Amino acid sequence: MNAKRTMLLLGMIAGAAIAVALYVAFDPRPYYRYGNGRVWLENNPNAVWSGLLSSPVFQFRVPLFAGARNWKPTPEQVREALRPSTNLQLSEEEISLIIRSCVSCEEPARRRSEPDGAVNGSQPIRAKTNRTSSAGGSRR
């Protein structure tokens, strides 16, 4: 009986390893792209870049097992991507702005869904009151 359990366990481990290998081999990882202060995901790294986007424009391959819509590059990755663009002559302030613009693809949607810019909870929440005048008469 013990040999059967061992073989079953080895079979399950081998099956899981094969499933992970197939996932890695055949599940395409999207590319995170930045251009014109906008971010988006692209499945094909060779997809044509729009010539209308002003520099800098760059892309990163989303890491394996990372949630593509929630992933964003680190400041070091952005600086490294900007390094070859020596002809841009970017100031440190401009580089910082680009780094702050490299948000996850979900972040702009979250910002739009929150009421009136209360993204970080810094704005006070006011209770809504009915401000009808007493001279308004009866309603039908």
Would you say residue 78 lies in a domain?
A: yes
Domain extent for 36: 28-114
pLDDT in tens, the chain (140 residues): 698 999 999 999 999 988 887 776 776 788 898 888 888 888 888 887 766 777 788 889 898 888 889 999 999 999 888 887 667 788 889 889 999 999 998 887 777 776 654 444 433 333 334 444 444 444 44
Whether 84 is in a domain gets the answer: yes
92 near 28, Cβ under 8 Å? Answer: no
pTM for this prediction: 0.57
Q: Identify which of 100, 105, 94 has the alpha carbon closest to the alpha carbon of residue 67.
A: 105
Q: Domain for residue 7, yes or no?
A: no
Task: Give the SS3 label for residue 41.
Answer: strand
